[in-house]
Structure 1
């Protein structure tokens, strides 16, 4: 009998009050307001470690949501990703109280220089013993651009061109600057590092000029696991070249498979196999000991969901809540003197009420299940076997009940079915958990591996070809 495909299980987190479940933080027993307390992160890490989770996926933004209603007031009232502390800094605390839990952390390539970030990630890879991954983003909030001295956002596809050179610099530092045996720690000869095995990278590109050498010796993975969240044509092309794990989704099985196949095609175009990329999706799982208990939880979460929070998060540039629910969206835009072409995603001939109801419930897609552990496990097996999903980022409705419920009820059922590792298993590095024992480093076919041993440092890689696409927000 063939071995059953195992689920890669992440909890989706962010170092803020309201991440993606808006309006739920005041619920009884919810710990969201403790996000700036170190004990929150160590307690959560231990719940996940002992509960069978593979990792925690940390989102981030570097600006305020200030488009909706013309300012940040709604987002601030809702606690929408502001205040928001730096996610890189909570990882060492979580790593210190765990042995197998992995960490995927978000960082943008658009505004900060690559040399300093290379040092931070190598440090985290050392401190976690190779349990860290990087979610590569290019930033999309207008306020983020304003925070770094720009008048407006860098155009979408140009951000990906910047990102391509950014990660090229990082590969040179992580993979090419130091040999594996550069650190000798020879007490008798009083030599810690063999200078002949460390080199400058001397990168000179369109945007960056970095001499090197890398200031951190080789970490267990060298390059952290490369995560990416994307759906745009430019993002898909970038993922085909760089990503090992892609955070994507779809409202139907067909849409998800189409998205995944597009990224597999892109991986092939960049000389990688179709199996070089794994796919995770955000999943909503509401589990109870009975179907009725699960349904009650789901009703509670729906009743307390904040439409204002959702609208602020979507950066809707026109406030539909200011208009009667029975007029059409087209009429509302006319009254607001707002050009319809600026909101092509809105259904112009639907009523305002219908549009708001759709936006408010727009997250209930293919990867949502409400029920007992058996119901949930059955559905997760469908995601794995029929859709081709490799893992999930579990959406938190309640901290820590969402994680505890999954750990106590669903994990034992999935283990019984061979869909999760047995308790006490220790996969080593994060990349090994994803791709198997002995695979701590980038695979040979990955573009970053071309710099191993100092090779190709003076042989520039061809720029990423993005075509003419200029859509999407990731």
Structure 2
């Protein structure tokens, strides 16, 4: 029996994907019906986008990494054989093609700012915001792979908190470019007067900080959202502070509802301390649904999928994430006992979920489907029950649904689970108009006035090409 109608707002539904063969549930590219090996073809992405819009999904969230998983066996052998997020393409380049065949679907793309310069990244996202007519979001990451740092000419990546310090300054520069360089009325397009843009309404950005020196004008005219919807995945103390200042949607990849609820409360409290409202941040969690017309059919499908999945490939992925070469362990190795009093212990504790006797064999059993996201197997009502439970018990706002066998995993969800969610008032029956930000929050296209970025905006009246009074920021930066 279906659960009673929910009075909550409709949940946010994103498909979770990557411009690669393997993403979260590793090994399933070998399934005869899987099409993920077509990731380098535009029609793979355009068909997916149209299918997701048919299901009224809010967005397609495209993950990305820089570097390769080379911790397991101290090599990339398993990574390459099993295509553990390698090879991987640039996720931003497939977005315009998908935008051209859809009208409402949003696109959240991951770009690692640790290896970017803000001046050019600002133009890239403004371009995407123009081409999608305001349907672009940016998943802000600072990276975690030393292999990426080495590939970019650095001996190793910056320390964790130092990466976020640099990221804060990076965001300050971006806000100056996106929000402050061009006024809303700068673009005139006056053919008769031969004035495309009014020079008096375009400001020169002058920034001098510990990490970045910028002196120039934003290269793009104001786009529908100006700043893309800001997404972030990170649950460390410093990561939560960064999210509380900047993020509009936060992705949490955790397993337990109680610990997730505590993290959600902590994040919202941090947002209030940063001068924002608790509802200014939407929280999403990862989930892998396997749905069938009946419980039995769902279980049979799950067992079929598991026959193609690769727990070893998932272990290679986790080895890089945790910084541990799990290939040196036996199945009965107690993981927590191996890593006392060092930085790796927290990673193991998250995997063990509080179990002191947690062993490598337990971890491998959990990787039966090739990944560790919460896997829900059942008919439409059972899947919807679990999703509703996460919303009500953990306080989350929506889900990133990890792919299994593409494209049927999303088609099955749309055909079976979406109607059930709609019957409970948990999923929309039609798209709202407007940009991605307006669809998510219903408050317009731009960042709200109380967001940290507001201090970098041009005044509503005036503004010119000459230097203006400095804005005070924590970095003592100036916008001219």
- What is the match of residue 225 of structure 2? 221
What is the distance in 2 between the residues matched to 1:134 and 1:167? Answer: 12
Question: 1:313 deviation in Å?
Answer: 0.7
Question: 1:54 deviation in Å?
Answer: 1.1
The answer to whether 1:185 aligns with 2:189 is yes
Picking from 363, 367, 392, the partner of 1:385 is 392
- What is the match of residue 430 of structure 1? 436
What is the distance in 1 between the residues matched to 2:225 and 2:300? Answer: 44
Question: Secondary structure, in 3 states, of the residue corresponding to 1:149?
Answer: coil
Residues 18 and 79 in structure 1, CA contact (< 8 A), matched pair in contact too = yes
Residues 264 and 394 in structure 2, CA contact (< 8 A), matched pair in contact too = no
Residues 10 and 428 in structure 2, CA contact (< 8 A), matched pair in contact too = yes
- What is the match of residue 469 of structure 1? none
- What is the match of residue 448 of structure 2? 443
Comparing 339-348 and 247-256, the one that deviates more: 339-348
The answer to whether 1:167 aligns with 2:168 is no
Unaligned runs of 5+ in 2: none
Alignment: residue pair count: 456
- What is the match of residue 472 of structure 1? none
What is the distance in 2 between the residues matched to 1:194 and 1:31? Answer: 50
RMSD: 2.4
Call closer, same or farther: CA 1:350–1:8 in 2, change over 3 Å: closer
Residues 27 and 82 in structure 2, CA contact (< 8 A), matched pair in contact too = yes
Call closer, same or farther: CA 1:355–1:46 in 2, change over 3 Å: closer
What is the distance in 1 between the residues matched to 2:123 and 2:336? Answer: 51
- What is the match of residue 452 of structure 1? 457
Residues 5 and 384 in structure 1, CA contact (< 8 A), matched pair in contact too = no
Residues 451 and 457 in structure 1, CA contact (< 8 A), matched pair in contact too = no
Residues 177 and 198 in structure 1, CA contact (< 8 A), matched pair in contact too = yes
- What is the match of residue 113 of structure 2? 109
Question: Secondary structure, in 3 states, of the residue corresponding to 1:202?
Answer: strand
Picking from 114, 117, 122, the partner of 1:118 is 122
1:71-470 map, 5 Å? 71-314=75-318, 315=320, 319-321=325-327, 324-326=330-332, 341=342, 343-344=344-345, 345-346=347-348, 352-357=360-365, 367-423=374-430, 425-436=431-442, 438-453=443-458, 458-463=470-475
What is the distance in 1 between the residues matched to 2:405 and 2:179? Answer: 40
Residues 209 and 475 in structure 2, CA contact (< 8 A), matched pair in contact too = no
Picking from 16, 25, 34, the partner of 2:20 is 16
Residues 244 and 274 in structure 2, CA contact (< 8 A), matched pair in contact too = yes
Unaligned runs of 5+ in 1: 465-474
What is the distance in 2 between the residues matched to 1:234 and 1:10? Answer: 26
What is the distance in 2 between the residues matched to 1:324 and 1:236? Answer: 35
Comparing 96-105 and 253-262, the one that deviates more: 253-262
Comparing 322-331 and 44-53, the one that deviates more: 322-331
Residues 27 and 370 in structure 2, CA contact (< 8 A), matched pair in contact too = no
Question: 1:243 deviation in Å?
Answer: 0.5
Deviation string 1:155-184 (CA, Å, 9 cap, x unpaired) is 110000000000110000000000111110
What is the distance in 1 between the residues matched to 2:397 and 2:343? Answer: 36
Question: 1:275 deviation in Å?
Answer: 1.5
Question: 1:212 deviation in Å?
Answer: 2.3
What is the distance in 2 between the residues matched to 1:258 and 1:370? Answer: 26
Call closer, same or farther: CA 1:62–1:328 in 2, change over 3 Å: closer
Question: Secondary structure, in 3 states, of the residue corresponding to 1:210?
Answer: strand
After TM superposition, the runs of 4+ consecutive aligned structure 1 residues lying more than 6 A away are none
Deviation string 1:448-470 (CA, Å, 9 cap, x unpaired) is 12122168872241159xxxxxx
TM-score by length of 1: 0.90
Call closer, same or farther: CA 1:14–1:320 in 2, change over 3 Å: closer
What is the distance in 1 between the residues matched to 2:206 and 2:61? Answer: 33
Comparing 154-163 and 305-314, the one that deviates more: 305-314
TM-score by length of 2: 0.89
